[in-house]
Every structure is written in structure tokens, then in C-alpha cells.
Amino acid sequence: MLIPQMMADKLRRRSSRLIPDQAHFAPADEFTGTLLSCPDGDGLTLHVSGKIVQVRLWGMDAPEWGQPYAKQAWHHLNSLVWGQPVTCFVMERDRYRRLVCECYGLDALSINLLQVYFGFAWYCPRYAPYATHFRDAQRLARLYKRGLWRAPNPCPPWEFRHSKKT
């Protein structure tokens, strides 16, 4: 599938900043690891300098297991990162102590944004309010009925999680 030039510019890898010690990650740090597994459509388990690092993809939320398109989102994420190094830029830590990162594969495109662009995740304005390129990618996915947007009324994962609690 062709990606419009405007969106391709947004997908390009940002300039990198190397960090001397990858044992302690903080916001704005960068690290590269090899994929061990993808637990779901918005998470990665990476092997980084002899350590296992749990990464949550920033700015997006993929369907939860038990929701329609959860398996497809997981397959798509695997297809983007399997067998190649993944470079991640740390944004923050979540409440489960995972690193929340924007990640890139060998093709220098944002994995996070590709998940949204191809319709396998929702843009989360609550956690990334200024990431308008994610909003634009979601609009394109919805317009062209890609991935989960083929469904007539897809339920966002945060609503699905809330409904399971109550």
C-alpha cells in the first residue's frame, strides 16, 4: 500500500541521541534491542544489553485480547518488527513500570504510527495530545476503512477495559 508523501514525512525516524548507559532509562533516552516477543498489539518485549525490557508503544492503544481485531493487531505488529532491531525513544514510564516509547524498525518508520495508520490501533489524545500526526493517521485509516475501521462501530480498548471492570 502506498503511503502519501505528507504521512511518509511524519513516519520518518527522528534524529537520534545515544545514551552512555542503557541500564537506567529516562525520558528522551534512546536504546536499540532485538525483539523477544509481542504480548499484544501495543507492546514489545525486547532484549537490550543483556536485559529484558518491557515496552508499551506511545500515543496509541490496540484492541485488547477478547476484542475484535486484537489478533490482527498482534500479527501486524509482529510483521513490522520480527527479525530486526527495534530502536525506541523513551517518553515515560507507565503505572506498571513499563517504558512507554516511540519505536522504529529498520525502515526508519514509526511502528506506533504505522499501527494507527493501518487501522490496528486507536490514537490516544489523552496521553499524546500534541501528536496530531497520529490523529491524521487515524482519520485516514477510518476514511479508507482499514483494519478495525471495517467494523461498523468499533469499541475503543479503554471503553472495553472499563466495561470489564464494571
21 occurs within a structural domain: no
118 occurs within a structural domain: yes
pLDDT tens-digit map of 14-69: 544 433 333 467 777 899 999 999 999 999 999 998 999 999 999 999 999 999 99
Rounded to two decimals, what is the model's pTM?
A: 0.82
Which has the closest alpha carbon to 82: 37, 41, 51?
37
61 occurs within a structural domain: yes
Judge whether residue 13 has pLDDT over 60: no
Alpha-carbon distance 33 to 52, whole Å? 9
The number of folded domains in the chain is 1
In a 10 Å sphere around its CB, with 0-12 CB exposed, 13-18 middle and 19+ buried, how is residue 118 labelled?
A: buried
Which has the closest alpha carbon to 12: 114, 126, 146, 156?
114
Q: Which three cell numbers stand for residue 144?
A: 479508507
Q: What is the pLDDT of residue 15?
A: 45
124 occurs within a structural domain: yes
18 occurs within a structural domain: no
Domain CATH for 152:
2.40.50.90
pLDDT tens-digit map of 65-89: 999 999 999 999 999 999 889 999 9
17 occurs within a structural domain: no
91 occurs within a structural domain: yes
16 occurs within a structural domain: no
Q: Which residue has the cell 530486526?
A: 84
Give me the domain span that covers residue 134: 5-11+26-165
